[in-house]
Structure formats: C-alpha cells, structure tokens
Amino acid sequence: MSVQQVAILLNETIGTISPYLHGEFAEHLGECIYPGIWVGEGSTIPNINGIRQDVVEALRPLEIPVLRWPGGCFADAYHWRDGIGARSQRPLRVNYHWGKAPESNHFGTHEFIEFCRLIGTEPYLVGNVGSGTPSELRDWVEYCNFAGNSSLANERRANGAPEPFGVRFWGVGNENWGCGGNMDPEYYAAEFARFRTFLFDYSDTPIHAIACGAAGNDWHWTWKFLDTLRRKHWNRMHLVQSLAAHYYCGTAGTATQFTEEQWLELLCRAYVMEGIILGHRTTMDELDPDRRIHLIVDEWGAWHPVEPGKPSSGLYQQNTMRDAHVAAITLDVFHRHCDKVYMGNIAQLINVLQSLLLVEEDRCIKTPTYYVWQLYAPHKGGSAVRFESLAERISDGGVSRDHCKSSYLQRSFNGLQCITGSASVKDRTLCVTMTNNHPSRPCEVRLTLVGAQVKEASMAVLVADDIRAHNTFEQPDRVKPSAPRPIPAAGDTLQVEAPAASVIQVLCSLG
C-alpha cells in the first residue's frame, strides 16, 4: 500500500470558515418544492402545517446555515404577492422556465419562513429584477421586515405573522446575464443600483444585498459590473455586500453509469472551483482591495442527465459516491480559501440536481452528499489552517514526490496517490476532512501536525463497495458513513487508512 504524507500547519491560519459556506438552495423546479417540502395540511403524508415532517427531521440535525429561495431562474418570473394570503385564493401560474408546469403558489413567503424556522436555517430571498420592479421588491422587504405600523406590515400580521421575519440576505436578481433578462454587465449594474436604492433597512435587520455575478470563469462580467458601479457618475460600490458567481461541474457519463475515467473527469471539473474562486477574487481585489464586498457561490454542483421516467424539465438525478466526492472536494476548496469566499449554496436541496434528500410519496432517503454535509459540519465557524499534501510513489527511479495542485486527480489515476482536504481548529479540536480520489486504490495517510500535539483522535469514513453506489428507496442505507472509531496517535503524528474512493473525517483533541 502506498503512503501519502499530509502536513497540518496549525501555526498558519487562513481565516474563519463562514458557516454560510455550507448553505443550500431550493427552487420551484421539478419536485423540489412539491412534494419535496410541501404536501399540504390535508395530505396523508405526516406534515407540520403542510410541510413534510420527514424532511424536517432529516434536515434539522445538519444545522444548515442558510437557504436560498425561490430561485434560480424561477425568481425573475416570480411575484411575491402570488404567494401570500389564503392559499385557496392564490393564483395558479405557469412556471415558464421549467417545463411550463403549473405553479399553485401554495408554498409562498410565510411557508418558506416557517420551513426555515423548522430546520433552523436563515432565509435568503431572491428578488425579481428580470420582470419585476423596484417598488415590488421594496414592498417585499417592508412586508417581511418592518415592525412598525404600515399597510404592508399590517397585512403580514393579518396573514399570521405578528413579528417581522428579519430577512437579511436579499438577492437582487438571478443570472441576469441569461434567464434573468439577458443583460450585459453595464446594464445590470445600472439596474442593480436602481433596485438596491429602495431596499431599506428596518429595525435590527440591515440589508445584505447580493448582486448577480458571473457564470463560471467570466471575469469580464465581474470586472465590468463593479467598474460600472465605480465609474459612472459616482462610486456606488457601497451598495453591494456580496457578488454571487455560479459554477456547475456538469457530468461525465450519467449519474449512475460511468467509467473510472469518467469518475476522474468529473472530479477534475469539481476541482475547477478553486480557479473560479481565485479568478473572481483576484478581479474583485483590483477594484475592492479591502474586500468589503464578499464573493459567494450561490449555485454549484453536479448536473447529470435526468433519470429515466422523470420529466426533462424537472432535473431529477440520482446521487452516488462520485457526487459525494464532488461535494467534499468543493467544500474543502471553500475551507482552504475561506479568506476569499463567504457563502456557498449547493443546487439543490431535494429531488433536483445534487440534492441532500430524495422523496417519493411517503418515503424520504438521504443521499451520499447528505453525509458529506454531516461529516464536514465541525468545520463551520472554525479557524482554517493550511493542509499540505505531498504524494509519494515507488517507481523504477525510486521515490518521486509532487505537491498536489490542479492536476492532482490525473496523477492519482496514473498511480500517484494523492489526497486532498482541508483542516480547521475550534475549541482545541482539530477537524481534518479529506478524500482519496483514486477509484480503486487504497492508501495510508500519515498526518503530521505542525504546532500541536494530539491527545486523542477518531475517524469516520464514507465509502461503498462500488464507486457507482447510491441509496434507493429499496436500499436507503447502502451508502452511509461508519461510526467514529479511535485511531492511534503518537505525539504529532497520526496514521489513517484511506480506502479507495473514500471521504474521511478525522477529529483530534489537541494537547
């Protein structure tokens, strides 16, 4: 078995890992909302005021920090007034972007806020810029946040919410370069400034305005948007609190049918997230050197062909060990660059794209990606420290060593074992997460701590008997993490067995 050396440099702090990096996204798309969250109070499926009880019970332990809603592309065709008041009186609309499906509007603002409270998450609302108006978005903010006496605040009270919702995060449009209006960055900058002008703070809830950022590596959008705000008439960059990029790593093969080469191809695409963050942050730093504006990635994940038997517009896909690696690689990138990125929202929560849960009738199962969220939870709010991986290979020429950089997965497939991961410290507990990305070769990882000693340590592993393994309604527990078990520690060194295609959590009490 080959050996991989990993150094954890506890004396080299990167920054605090924002809990918001572990955020989620739920859009009115396919089966995410209906029946993923909402089944109605009259349903035979156990529910809490119409919200699925099994989903609430599955998500609450994760302590998801933030949930983005109602879109996505749906947001720029959504009018918030359609989703308030008596549900029997709400208008039936057409979901223009997603298959012209009927939209009952039974899950609206009040239902979303109740769902957030039930699972213990903070709401992030996305406003309609593409087909809405500044006054419409202004009114939504007042309706949600004003504690005083006004027609909108009183309407909220009449609809069952005496106290304000206190929503801080507001997206000013979504993908306005595409489905949100096909705008160029200069035009969107003007629209953003116009809409943002009327988003007022109420009570103790200052607005955190999130601007539409770029798709993938479109540095031009980032530069032009910020430069337009900076140069036109006067500097209006203070209106932006965060800039939201999107990146989907796509697919290779299908969700459940792929070769080892395609396993590797998709993981390489997932690792591109590091370049996305570095490219946009570098561009932003030229205009915002003090980093007053946050970079966030509020849509990311795998995007496979729709599962057979499901509508093509619903984006329903299965979720295998490969998707768990996509999630783990991405979260590790976020942690290693937590000084550059503030929030991340995987797409999406239930039944759509790279979801945490799949539901069918009265059944709910957890995907491998769900368990990555569980294993990586100790990082939230921790102080990130450097994770340095050094690969080792025995060849005809002896031992060759290579630092793992952007091509680490290609080298892994060619026989050079390469572990990637991240590390953080909180309350004298070190959390190390890492992946063995080789689809068939286990290895031994020697963890060396620089700057501390280990008192005791444990590890948990997410691994399966096949890289294509996934959970189904017939086999809901085929893929799940092992129970934590102690591992031997000697001073500043730990030895960890890393099975092929595994995701690993190591927790250490520091001396």
Task: Show which residues are catalytic.
Answer: 175, 299
Q: Is the dihedral of CA 101, 107, 109, 113 positive or negative?
A: negative
What 3-state class would DSSP assign to 393?
Answer: strand
Q: What is the DSSP letter of 481?
A: P
Which helix (DSSP H) or strand (DSSP E) does residue 376 occupy?
helix 368-376
Residue 436 phi/psi, 5° resolution?
-95, 105
The two beta strands, 208-215 and 242-250, are: parallel
CB 176 within 8 A of CB 129: yes
> Cis peptide before 348, with omega less than 30 degrees from 0?
yes
Neighbours of 257 (CB within 10 A): 12
Give me 479's structure tokens: 């893929």
DSSP track, 401-450: EEE--TTHHHHHHTT---EEEEEEEETTEEEEEEEE--SS--EEEEEEEE
Neighbours of 86 (CB within 10 A): 7
Binning the chain into helix, strand and coil, the percentages to the nearest 5 are 30, 30, 40
Nearest-5° angle of CA 241, CA 290, CA 127?
10
Write the Ramachandran bin of 195: left for phi over 0, alpha for psi from -120 to 50, otherwise beta: alpha
Give me 279's structure tokens: 């490219």
Q: 3-state SS string over 266-290?
A: HHHHHHCHHHHHHHHHHHHHHHCCC
CB 460 within 8 A of CB 374: no
Between CA 315 and CA 421 the distance in angstroms is 29
